[in-house]
């Protein structure tokens, strides 16, 4: 992992502008890459690029290996002759209407598959598709069958399917593969399209010294091909349902903790195979991005295990994670691990030691910096290398939203004190209050943090209406989209100026 100072922006693919209901890997993605280059940015951070699950969250995917078909660009498919222009109606929105977009995209992609299946495309393209299927069969075949069976059973969770299918009886699976052969090939084709368009975009970025910064959740969803096809690697009962689930204990922000509900890994069985499933998972994400934020890193050292029968996370217990043993195994099999540890929350000495042993940078969030005086570890003057600094993450309000927001889980006095300290720290008495976001970004750029990543909303100075996710809300998240032409030459000049000023711009000739 490069030790040179750098900076970049956080913008998920769905948040890109565009005419087809959601951001995708089409022309607007390339325009954004051009903006990054113009502004001297060398990191583009995205959220997990997997299909979305419950609540349209990219952290609850039906497969940790698959790509999100919503990212496939209709415009690029028109260029390739797999769609006709008149089949691609435009509808502009500033938020993603996920149900409508999913239906719209599925119809388009099905038309593309029919044309490809019936002979559209060159022999080379068909050979590339079959090669992709062969190389990725270890996850792609199960995922394609899982998706076909979900459709057959009205999208119900796999544990409610007929038992022979839920328990993967060999004869039942063989009959299902025959019954759904064409649909399985269609889902494989969608993954091929995603892979081809993603690699083309990544190559464009890399040629411009921009690295793609990905995100990998520690856990996978219960209703996923990952659990359905690998039951022995999770704590499940005879019907395939989790017996213990993930979460975090009660804390200052929640008296009942957080019950996430993901099934817990059987780390003993994973160790027995030298963590083969994890090695495959890591190899896949490293093949698609340049560095990875490893979500809830704390859980690799010790994790909060909650009985599945419990309605909250209160009655959980701490269990020992795989620790260094996992990462040594991954290093043996994969080589250097370009990982960033998401180490937010209550972090123990054991977690810090694990990060130090492998040289994994942690994270610092400026929004958390102002409520406890000058010793707060998230204040830029207290940073220590290596570190990735953010004004906020996808789970926070925007910086301007935080400043103006009147509701908080903290005491009103604490909030007032934090804002008073932030006013002094960011020198707002000498700068207009509407420049708060710029002062925040500048303070991070000037710090010793190795990387600075700013959500695009904080470059634009947007308020709480542009928030990406509010943890605990079951709906209304993940849909924010940037307006066309929101990022201007003036933004590029300002951002590029402080990037060069503080030594984060790419060096000439790199």
Q: Tell me the catalytic residues.
A: 295, 342, 395
Cis peptide before 154 (omega within 30 of 0): no
Tokens of 411: 């005491």
Half-sphere exposure of 470 (CA within 13 A, CB side): 16
Pairing relation of β-strands 451-455 and 387-390? Answer: parallel
Of 116, 117, 91, 118, the closest CA to residue 105 belongs to: 91
Question: H or E element: which one contains 388?
Answer: strand 387-390
Tokens of 470: 């509010």
SS3 category, 455: strand
Pairing relation of β-strands 291-294 and 302-307? Answer: unpaired
Determine phi and psi for 444, rounding to 5 degrees. Answer: -75, -40
Could you give the angle at the alpha carbon of 394 between the alpha carbons of 393 and 397, nearest 5°? 80
Q: How far apart are the first and last CA of the chain?
A: 15
Asked if 347 contacts 298 with a C-beta cutoff of 8 angstroms, the reply is yes
Measured distance CA(195)–CA(291) in Å, rounded: 18
Residue tagged 């951001």 (tokens): 23
């Amino acid at each position: 992992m490069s030790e040179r100072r750098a900076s970049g922006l956080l913008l998920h693919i769905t948040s890109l502008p565009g005419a087809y209901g959601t951001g995708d890997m089409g022309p607007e993605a390339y325009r954004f890459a051009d903006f990054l280059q113009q502004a001297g940015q060398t990191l583009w951070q995205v959220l997990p690029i997997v299909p979305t699950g419950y609540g349209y969250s990219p952290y609850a995917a039906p497969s940790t290996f698959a790509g999100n078909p919503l990212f496939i660009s209709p415009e690029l498919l028109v260029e390739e002759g797999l769609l006709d222009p008149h089949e691609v109606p435009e509808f502009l929105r500033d938020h993603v209407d996920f149900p409508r977009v999913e239906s719209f995209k599925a119809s388009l992609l099905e038309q593309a598959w029919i044309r490809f299946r019936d002979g559209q495309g060159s022999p080379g393209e068909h050979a590339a598709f079959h090669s992709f299927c062969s190389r990725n069969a270890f996850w792609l075949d199960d995922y394609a069958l899982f998706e076909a069976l979900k459709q057959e059973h009205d999208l119900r969770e796999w544990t409610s399917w007929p038992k022979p299918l839920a328990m993967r009886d060999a004869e039942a699976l063989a009959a299902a593969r025959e019954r759904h052969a064409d649909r399985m090939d269609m889902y494989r084709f969608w993954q091929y399209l995603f892979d081809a368009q993603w690699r083309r975009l990544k190559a464009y970025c890399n040629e411009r010294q921009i690295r793609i910064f990905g995100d990998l959740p520690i856990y996978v969803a219960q209703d996923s091909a990952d659990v359905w096809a690998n039951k022995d690697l999770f704590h499940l009962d005879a019907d395939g349902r989790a017996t213990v689930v993930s979460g975090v204990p009660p804390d200052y922000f929640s008296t009942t903790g957080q019950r996430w509900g993901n099934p817990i890994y059987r780390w003993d069985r994973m160790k027995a195979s030298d963590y083969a499933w994890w090695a495959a998972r890591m190899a896949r994400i490293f093949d698609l991005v340049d560095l990875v934020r490893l979500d809830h890193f704390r859980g690799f050292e010790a994790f909060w295990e909650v009985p599945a029968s419990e309605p909250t996370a209160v009655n959980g217990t701490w269990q020992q994670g795989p620790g260094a043993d996992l990462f040594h195994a991954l290093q043996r099999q994969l080589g250097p691990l370009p990982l960033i540890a998401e180490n937010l929350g209550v972090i123990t000495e054991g977690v810090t030691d694990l990060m130090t042993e492998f040289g994994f940078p942690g994270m610092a969030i400026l929004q958390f910096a102002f409520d406890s005086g000058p010793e707060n570890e998230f204040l830029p003057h207290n940073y220590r290398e290596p570190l990735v600094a953010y004004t906020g993450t996808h789970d926070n309000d925007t910086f301007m939203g935080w400043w103006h927001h009147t509701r908080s889980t903290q005491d009103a006095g604490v909030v007032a004190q934090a804002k008073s300290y932030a006013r002094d720290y960011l020198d707002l008495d000498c700068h207009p209050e509407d420049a708060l976001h710029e002062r925040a970004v500048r303070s991070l750029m000037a710090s010793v943090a190795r990387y600075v990543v700013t959500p695009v909303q904080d470059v634009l100075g947007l308020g709480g209406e542009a928030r990406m996710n509010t943890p605990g809300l079951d709906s209304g998240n993940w849909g924010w989209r940037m307006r066309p032409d929101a990022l201007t030459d003036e933004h590029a000049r300002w951002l590029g100026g402080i990037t060069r000023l503080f030594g984060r711009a790419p060096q000439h000739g790199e």
